[in-house]
Amino acid sequence: MATHDGSTRYHHGNLRPTLLSVAKALLEEGGPAALSMREIGRRAGVSAPAAYHYFNSLDAIAAALAEQGFAELSESIDAALAGPRRNLLAGGIAYVAFARANPGLYRLMFGEGFQAYSKGNEAIRALRMQVYRQMKDDLEKRLTPEEVPNAALFLWSLTHGLALLMIDGQVEPGADPDARVEDILKLAGMGLPAAR
């Protein structure tokens, strides 16, 4: 491997996190399809099979990235819900902001390959559930129990769809995309003051 001073060592010393950060960079450069075991090794300054000491497969690397992503997304929503505007609108804005800041990762988390690499990954299932629960909990504060399931699916669909359309460049870029997101989400009636 190559080190910062140009020298070379047999043992990397910090390979696992390096692999993940290199993979994340690759993911944001070219989307999930750009993830490649050999390219990850190349950028980490290591042969491709070296990565197999830390991950069983390319899918395992994808799963690790997705897991990180769900954790980060969940934290980001938590922070928004704890902020000055503690309501679902703030949560939705944070959700879309995460997707826009990490388009490759978001596509990995919700895109076509998901079923493949998350097969039997309980951590991912749990984290994904947690994001959904954050929204449901808030809805339960002001809706009847029968209304909650449909309202939750409605909001998730809207937010997820908006995030993807923006990521895909399907939304004509105006001056202030964040304001646009807020306007759209408000149409769902999310802007009500939160019940305490």
Partner DNA sequence: GCATAATTTTAACGCTGTAAAGATTAGATC
Partner DNA sequence: GATCTAATCTTTACAGCGTTAAAATTATGC
**Residue 39 in contact with DNA, rule: CB under 7 A:** yes
Two tokens at 56?
């069983």
Question: Do the beta carbons of residue 28 and residue 103 sit within 8 Å?
Answer: yes
- For residues 25 and 28, give the distance between their C-alpha atoms in angstroms, rounded to a whole number: 5
Q: Among the candidate windows 40-48, 103-111, 141-149, 185-193, which touches DNA by CB under 7 A?
A: 40-48
**Residue 157 in contact with a copy of itself, rule: CB under 8 A:** yes
| Residue placing its CB nearer to DNA in the complex, 25 or 158 | 25
Cβ 74 to a copy of itself shortest distance, Å: 16
Q: What count of residues does the chain have?
A: 196
Which amino acid is located at 64 in the chain?
A
How many residues bind to a copy of itself according to rule CB under 8 A?
32
Largest CA distance in the chain: 65
Contacting residue, 21, 25, 31, 37, with DNA by CB under 7 A: 37
**Residue 46 in contact with DNA, rule: CB under 7 A:** yes
- Is 2 strand, coil or helix? strand
